[in-house]
Amino acid sequence: MKKILSFSALIFSMSFCFSQEQIIINDVPIIKYEVLEKKIQEEKNVLLVLNFWSTTCAPCVKELPDFMEINNKYKDNPKFKMLLVSLDRPKDKDRVVQFIKSKNLTAEVILLDDIKRMNTWIPQFEKNWDGNIPVTIVYKNSEKVHFNDGEMTKTELENVITKNL
């Protein structure tokens, strides 16, 4: 009987966690597409640099130091924000947290837990996005002003920011 109650409690707690829009683990929220969409819409009067990446993507990892340099340059500007959207699996969150610490990522990081619906949300961001990463999308006042499919250099990122800030 004790085992049945323990198992029931486990199932209930798991279903409660999965029913939430956002789960925060080690300060890295795990969210669905709709929550990310809301975050973008809430960033009024801000130039938002949104970078989709993964710890297992070599071009993503290669461009991150340049992104952090740019983020550190503009982080005190209230009209600028950088958000790194990890497409790692939620079960790999510990690796993501370790990666954030070891690479000294200074921008906000979220984990997007919506792999099963990629064909739904990817075209919502950009109809020409084929799903490869890295991808950088820049929003000004919640409106998309730039889409970059593939690795982005520091100069390219700086130019997009300067043009739109």
Render pLDDT for 52-91 as a digit per residue (tens, 0 to 9): 999 999 999 999 999 999 999 999 999 999 999 999 999 9
Per-residue confidence band for 94, with pLDDT thresholds at 50, 70 and 90: very high
SS (H, E, C) 75-143: CCCCCEEEEEEECCCHHHHHHHHHHHHHCCCCCEEEEECCHHHHHHHHHHHCCCCCCCCCEEEEEECCE
How long is the chain? 165
Q: What is the mean pLDDT of residues 94-112?
A: 94
Backbone angles phi, psi at 83, to 5 degrees: -130, 120
Contact (CB, 8 A) for 105 and 116: no
